[in-house]
């Protein structure tokens, strides 16, 4: 129900809605969903288990249905819990953005929120941010970074919680503007005792790569999407073999490859040190290099990016 005031619809909240607006309760639900444990959520929030349970019960009273499954073992969100938690993440992200903006207004510093895919966030963005900071004589912008897979980066930008994103996937959704800022070579790596590593002269065909179960990142990862698209483009009509194992981070992929569970196709940036110290071996392929673009993205609805965002794109585009 709502009332009209000065031609604006203003929601009327009852006592039941107060719990839904409790930031602590929403944060608690999201953590339980991510951790699968009330005990772990309490530890992360530095409160008692009783406090966590009280927040959860208050939310459930407001929604009038259970939000987690109860019983022995891991706590799992119910369908209603999943719905509320998804919306809560947007609320918490917006609140974080508000806090950053208020802090920037207090200090007179500009605030920039950047979302980047994991490879960019770990191996490229830090040096870009150093250059951005040193380009200001005083009051350099306050930058906060979210690292996620490419799909999550797109969601952050489209939701308006971040100003600028950097991804390596070729699939850029509608509603976003883009600019290519660089490129990255994907290479095939194996453990030193893998059959593909036994002869430096041996070249693996694109078809053999496609037909071999890979150790790979999860669906939505820019690395995985990029190499699958590149392999299909080089050998039309092939089917990509199901992965040997899916893992959520590049570090986990490298660890499993070193254990000999299979080959992987990874960014050359991410395996440079492993190749140098002999922990992984590079495998040659009978095709031209697998190269993907690195792209800056931002909302199409934004007419002009803030100056610090434009400057960061220029830094990313520079090879110097």
What is the pLDDT, as a whole number, of residue 12?
Answer: 38
| CATH 3.40.50.970 at 183-292, yes or no | no
What is the pLDDT, as a whole number, of residue 237?
Answer: 87
User: 76 forms bridges with which residues in the sheet?
Assistant: none
Select from 301, 311, 296, 300 the least CA-distant residue to 110: 311
The per-residue pLDDT for range 78-134, each reduced to its tens digit, is: 888 888 888 888 777 767 666 666 665 555 556 789 999 988 999 999 999 989 888
- 93-182+294-317: which CATH topology? D-Maltodextrin-Binding Protein; domain 2 (3.40.190)
Q: Where are the domains of the chain?
A: 2-89, 93-182+294-317, 183-292
What is the pLDDT, as a whole number, of residue 302?
Answer: 85
The per-residue pLDDT for range 165-178, each reduced to its tens digit, is: 999 988 899 999 99
The per-residue pLDDT for range 232-260, each reduced to its tens digit, is: 998 888 899 999 999 988 889 999 999 99
Q: 93-182+294-317 and 183-292: same fold?
A: yes
Report residue 3's pLDDT band, with 50, 70 and 90 as the boundaries.
very low
Alpha carbon distances (Å) from 42 to 26, 30, 39, 62, 240? 13, 12, 5, 21, 43
pTM of the predicted protein model: 0.64
Q: How far apart are the C-alpha atoms of 167 and 223, rounded to whole Å?
A: 9
- 2-89: which CATH topology? Arc Repressor Mutant, subunit A (1.10.10)
């Amino acid at each position: 129900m709502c009332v009209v005031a000065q031609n604006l619809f203003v929601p009327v909240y009852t006592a039941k809605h107060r719990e839904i607006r409790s930031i602590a309760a929403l944060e608690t639900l999201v953590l339980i969903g991510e951790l699968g444990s009330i005990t772990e959520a309490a530890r992360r929030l530095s409160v008692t288990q009783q406090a966590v349970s009280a927040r959860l019960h208050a939310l459930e009273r407001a929604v009038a249905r259970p939000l987690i499954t109860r019983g022995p073992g891991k706590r799992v969100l119910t369908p209603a819990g999943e719905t509320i938690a998804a919306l809560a993440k947007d609320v918490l992200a917006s609140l974080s953005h508000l806090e950053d903006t208020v802090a920037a207004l207090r200090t007179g510093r500009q605030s920039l929120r950047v979302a980047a895919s994991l490879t960019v966030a770990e191996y490229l963005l830090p040096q870009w941010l150093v250059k951005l900071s040193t380009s200001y004589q005083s009051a350099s912008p306050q930058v906060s970074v979210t690292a996620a897979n490419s799909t999550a980066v797109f969601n952050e930008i489209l939701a308006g919680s971040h100003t600028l994103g950097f991804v390596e996937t070729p699939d850029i959704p509608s509603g976003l503007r883009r600019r290519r800022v660089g490129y990255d070579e994907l290479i095939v790596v194996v453990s030193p005792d893998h059959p593909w590593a036994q002869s430096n002269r041996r070249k693996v065909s694109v078809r053999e790569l496609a037909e071999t179960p890979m150790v790979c990142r999860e669906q939505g990862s820019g690395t995985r999407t990029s190499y699958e698209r590149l392999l299909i483009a080089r050998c039309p009509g092939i089917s990509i073999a199901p992965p040997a194992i899916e893992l959520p981070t590049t570090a986990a992929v490298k660890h499993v490859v070193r254990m000999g569970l299979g080959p992987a196709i990874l960014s050359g940036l991410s395996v440079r040190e492993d190749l140098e110290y002999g922990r992984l071996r590079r495998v040659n392929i009978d095709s031209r290099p697998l190269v993907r673009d690195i792209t800056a993205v931002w909302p199409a609805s934004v007419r002009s990016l803030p100056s610090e965002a434009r400057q960061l794109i220029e830094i990313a585009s520079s090879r110097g």
